[in-house]
Amino acid sequence: MVYTVILYDAVAGGAGHVRRMVTEEGEAFQQVLQRALAVVDGCSCDPSCYQCLRNYYNQKIHDQLSRQAASKFLHPWLGGMESLEEREEVSDFETEEANEEGSHE
């Protein structure tokens, strides 16, 4: 399954926060993910509260916000990630390797 994460600046005209998160090796985004995990893993509520996921702007979906679901979603993203281009290269390599193995049999 491929997830799409959409990051946006809530400030009118943008404050540049999202642009600063995009770095060559993804280290800034990793820091954001680690901080997000610390917030959801560091709370003791169930399913969510104003200390972790809830705020005034998402009050219409407060009943859908789950701290445990957010933690489960974020954990696999820690420790580095590959760009979509790298991911496609790996897929191509795996496909070629699978074809070679098939031709030997």
Distance in Å, CB of 68 to Zn ion, minimum: 10
In the complex, what is the shortest distance from the CB of residue 27 to Zn ion, in angstroms, rounded to a whole number? 27
Measured between alpha carbons, how far is 62 from 47 in angstroms, rounded to an integer?
A: 9
Query: Which H or E element spans position 33?
Result: helix 27-41
> Distance (Å, rounded) from C-alpha 92 to C-alpha 87?
9
The least distance separating Zn ion from the CB of residue 37, rounded to whole angstroms, comes to 13
Binding site for Zn ion (CB under 5 A): 43, 45, 49, 51-52
**Cα 21 from Cα 16, distance rounded (Å):** 9
**Nearest to Zn ion of 33, 52 (CB atom):** 52
Q: Which is nearer to Zn ion, 45 or 81 (CB)?
A: 45
